[in-house]
């Protein structure tokens, strides 16, 4: 069996550990208790989920709602403002150093709705002057007659922009039901540059229908010419049994696992030659970017929003499906809009699921995050954290790692485990060797 077949099995993306499928039902009492117990002087990140899109793209795997009813969006913004006030009443005037609006399409909201959200946040919490304020943008929502939205974002203090590009190739755009022209993508990018946003990220996806190694390489070269500060290059997860919208994609047009792997390797090589530093599994950044510096200082973290530089580690998610990471516990809000709106209407947090982390979870989380962020784990760092011997504690996991060592993906010394350059492409597989939930849960996304 070739190496791609051997490791192309379902494993988590490790945006959290324990992974979300291992979490269980949880009510709001647990969430309130964890909020009350947090160190109120610690900096906090806030994530606001805006689920609406005008239409659902065929490939989309996000928690989205197709909506063109302005009244519903207004009702949702009201609910988010109420949730911000509820959170303030429980945690006080917390110190916030990061805000992220994700979706869905946050820029589908009107300028006044975005302003209302930012005002609610600024009046509830103490937002650091240098806070990272980021937003995910579907370029189609800020183009032509909607172009002024970008100036609104700048005025509201947003400094980090993430543009949903996916691919610049028109055939691929048609196949994924998005139809976003290269002209829209590049013109919105230029406009963001003119407005002086500090950091502009391109979201790209490989493994989409109609993509080839050659077509995707061409997109990557065009992206390098544009020179965004960051690039996130995600693997497409084809899950039509979970995501009904993906049934509109033609399976016959998808690249084979081998082609998809070549697409990733070639794109990675072009990006690195083009001056970008590879960060973890799927992010790339120009050397001056804080992501690159955070690799050197060991302050890089992996969250549900991808790789990030965080001073603190706590994230509170607001809105439908919002996920909170309070260091020793994860919580997730209700996944449907009626459940979310109903809870907020009752003055309750819409907590639906979660998990309280055991010491074993915390230690494995540390090891997995180090592997996913830095591609290595110093045994000594684990031992300082846990007081346990790395080799003794993980002797079964080290046994699981043996085939990956034999395949040249990992080097193991008495002090360190480190992914080889080839192993950097299989970080999820390497991390999975330390996952205690892997055999108990089902994961649908493949490693490649």
Least distance (Å) from ligand SF4 to the CB of residue 257? Answer: 23
Q: Which of 342, 353, 426 is nearest to 20 (CA)?
A: 353
Within 142-171, the residues that bind ligand SF4 by CB under 6 A are 164
Which stretch, 56-64, 142-150, 277-285, 366-374, contacts ligand SF4 (CB under 6 A)? Answer: 56-64
Specify the residue for token string 């996913």: 372
Which stretch, 55-63, 76-84, 120-128, 151-159, contacts ligand SF4 (CB under 6 A)? Answer: 55-63
64 touches ligand SF4 by CB under 6 A: yes
Which helix (H) or strand (E) element contains residue 353? strand 351-356
60 touches ligand SF4 by CB under 6 A: yes
Least distance (Å) from ligand SF4 to the CB of residue 141? Answer: 8
Least distance (Å) from ligand SF4 to the CB of residue 322? Answer: 15
Structure-block tokens of residue 56: 């659902």
Q: Which of 354, 381, 355 is nearest to 367 (CA)?
A: 381
Between the two ends of the chain, the Cα-to-Cα distance in Å is: 15
Q: Distance between alpha carbon 35 and the CA centroid of its chain, in Å?
A: 23
Q: Which of 28, 73, 132, 138 binds ligand SF4 (CB under 6 A)?
A: 138
Q: What is the DSSP string of 246-283?
A: GGGS-GGGSPPHHHHHHHHHHHHHHHHHTTPEEETTTE
Least distance (Å) from ligand SF4 to the CB of residue 64? Answer: 5
Fill in the DSSP letter of residue 136.
E
By CB under 6 A, the count of residues binding ligand SF4 is: 11
Least distance (Å) from ligand SF4 to the CB of residue 53? Answer: 3
Q: Which of 22, 46, 50, 56 binds ligand SF4 (CB under 6 A)?
A: 56
101 touches ligand SF4 by CB under 6 A: no
Q: Which of 34, 44, 50, 53 binds ligand SF4 (CB under 6 A)?
A: 53
Structure-block tokens of residue 246: 């993906």
Q: Which of 44, 46, 57, 213 binds ligand SF4 (CB under 6 A)?
A: 57
Q: Which residue lies nearer to ligand SF4 by CB, 52 or 340? A: 52
CB-CB contact of 66 with 55 (8 Å)? yes
Count of C-beta atoms within a 10 Å radius of residue 52: 20
CB-CB contact of 85 with 120 (8 Å)? yes
Write out the residues near ligand SF4 by the rule CB under 6 A: 53, 56-57, 60, 62, 64, 103-105, 138, 164
């Amino acid at each position: 069996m070739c190496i791609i077949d051997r490791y192309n099995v379902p494993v988590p993306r490790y945006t959290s550990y324990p992974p979300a499928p291992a979490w269980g039902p949880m009510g709001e009492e647990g969430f309130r208790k964890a909020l009350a117990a947090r160190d109120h002087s610690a900096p906090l990140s806030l994530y606001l989920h805006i689920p609406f899109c005008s239409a659902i793209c065929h490939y989309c795997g996000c928690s989205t709602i197709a909506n063109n009813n302005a009244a519903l969006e207004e009702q949702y913004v009201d609910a988010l403002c109420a949730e911000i006030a509820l959170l303030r009443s429980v945690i006080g005037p917390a110190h916030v150093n990061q805000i992220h609006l994700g979706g869905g399409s946050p820029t589908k909201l009107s300028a006044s709705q975005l302003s209302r959200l930012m005002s609610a946040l600024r009046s509830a919490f103490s937002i650091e002057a240098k806070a990272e304020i980021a937003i995910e943008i579907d370029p189609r929502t800020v183009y032509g007659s909607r172009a002024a939205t970008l100036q609104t974002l700048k005025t509201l203090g947003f400094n980090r922009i993430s543009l949903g590009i996916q691919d610049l190739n028109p055939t691929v755009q048609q196949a994924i039901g998005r139809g976003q022209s290269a002209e829209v993508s590049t013109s919105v990018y230029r406009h963001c540059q003119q407005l002086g946003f500090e950091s502009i990220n391109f979201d790209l996806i490989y493994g989409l229908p109609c993509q080839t190694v050659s077509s995707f390489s061409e997109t990557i070269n065009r992206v390098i010419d544009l020179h965004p500060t960051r690039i996130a290059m995600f693997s497409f997860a084809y899950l039509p049994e979970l995501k009904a919208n993906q049934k509109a994609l033609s399976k016959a047009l998808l690249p084979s696992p081998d082609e998809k792997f070549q697409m990733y390797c070639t794109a990675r090589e072009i990006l690195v030659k083009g001056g970008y530093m590879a960060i973890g599994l799927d992010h790339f950044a120009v050397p001056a970017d804080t992501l690159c510096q955070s690799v050197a200082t060991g302050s890089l973290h992996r969250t549900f929003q991808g790789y990030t530089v965080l001073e603190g580690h706590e994230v509170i998610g607001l809105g439908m499906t919002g996920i909170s990471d309070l260091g020793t516990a994860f919580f997730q809000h209700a996944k449907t809009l009626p459940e979310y709106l109903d809870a907020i209407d009752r003055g309750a947090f819409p907590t639906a699921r979660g998990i309280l982390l055991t010491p074993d979870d915390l230690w494995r989380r540390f090891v997995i995050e180090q592997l996913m962020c830095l591609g290595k784990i110093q045994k000594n760092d684990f031992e300082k954290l846990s007081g346990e011997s790395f080799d003794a504690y993980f002797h079964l996991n080290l046994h699981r790692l043996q085939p990956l060592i034999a395949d040249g993906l990992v080097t193991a010394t008495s002090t360190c485990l480190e992914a080889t350059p080839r192993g950097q492409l299989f970080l999820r597989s390497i991390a999975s060797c330390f996952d205690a939930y892997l055999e108990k849960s089902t994961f649908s996304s493949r490693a490649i």
